[in-house]
Amino acid sequence: MLDHIGISRGVLVQPVVYGTNCGALLKALKSHPERLRGVALLSPEVTDAQLMKMDRGGVRGARFSQPPPGYTAGAVGFDVLAALAPKLVGLGWHAQIWAPCAELESIVTRFAPLGLQLVVDHMGGIDTERGVADPNFQSLLRLLGNSQYNLWVKLIPNRVSLRYPDYEDVAPFHRALVAANPERVIWGSDWPHVHTQRDIPDAGHLLDLLYDWAGDDACRRILVDNPARLYGF
């Protein structure tokens, strides 16, 4: 997929279907150590030795989520993040977080003071029908624009849109996030779309939309400079 759309480096995020067994992730990272980095799912019992092995293998973050009830078995919650936060900070890893947009402010203000870099997944779980004036989205913009929170947002329009295939309902939110802090947004395709049963996105088209909505200069930051800093390429 990366070759097909012309991307030289990528980040693999551990799917919840594997639980906290990161064997497949580490094997994939080992096959392309210069090209790939990873984000893992961690057990609360993970050892320092296991974390160091993951770090040497290219892992640069761990994901924590509070998905809708019954949506995803195997997710690792924020109670585990609270326990592991000092270890993540010591490794220089970030925490990738997924929660409803209305709950992000309380989560960010809880964990950012610990020195963690936080990556908000899926564009903050926005509700496009509420519009960009939605107080929850405006709160996310303020958090992103405030350097004290050390916050990043991952742009994945297909995960929050109701309008396949051009996702035009997401465009104003996308532009607002980029404008709020172009040095703190990154892009994701969500490929291979393991939870999507219909209207499967085309990764190349998603990349075209990024250029249409953000422009060449911002895209250089989003696709090259920002992820190089965050993931240690």
Q: Provide mean pLDDT across the span 42-59.
A: 97
Number of compact structural domains in the chain: 1
Residue 66 CA: distances (Å) to CA of 49, 58, 221 = 27, 25, 29
Q: Provide mean pLDDT across the span 2-24.
A: 94
pLDDT bracket for residue 16 (50, 70, 90):
confident
Residue 40 included in any domain: no
Residue 159 included in any domain: yes
Contact 225, 232 (CB under 8 A): no
pLDDT, tens digit, for every residue of 204-223?
A: 999 999 999 999 999 999 99
Cα-Cα-Cα-Cα dihedral sign, residues 93, 98, 100, 101: positive
Contact 57, 29 (CB under 8 A): yes
Residue 109 included in any domain: yes
Residue 214 included in any domain: yes
Residue 168 pLDDT greater than 70, yes or no: yes
Residue 70 pLDDT greater than 60, yes or no: no
Contact 187, 203 (CB under 8 A): no
Which range marks the domain in which residue 67 is found? 60-231
Residue 22 included in any domain: no
Residue 182 included in any domain: yes
Residue 104 included in any domain: yes
pLDDT, tens digit, for every residue of 175-205?
A: 999 999 999 999 999 999 987 889 999 999 9
What CATH number does residue 79 fall under?
A: 3.20.20.140
Residue 13 pLDDT greater than 60, yes or no: yes
Residue 101 included in any domain: yes
Residues with catalytic annotation? Answer: 190
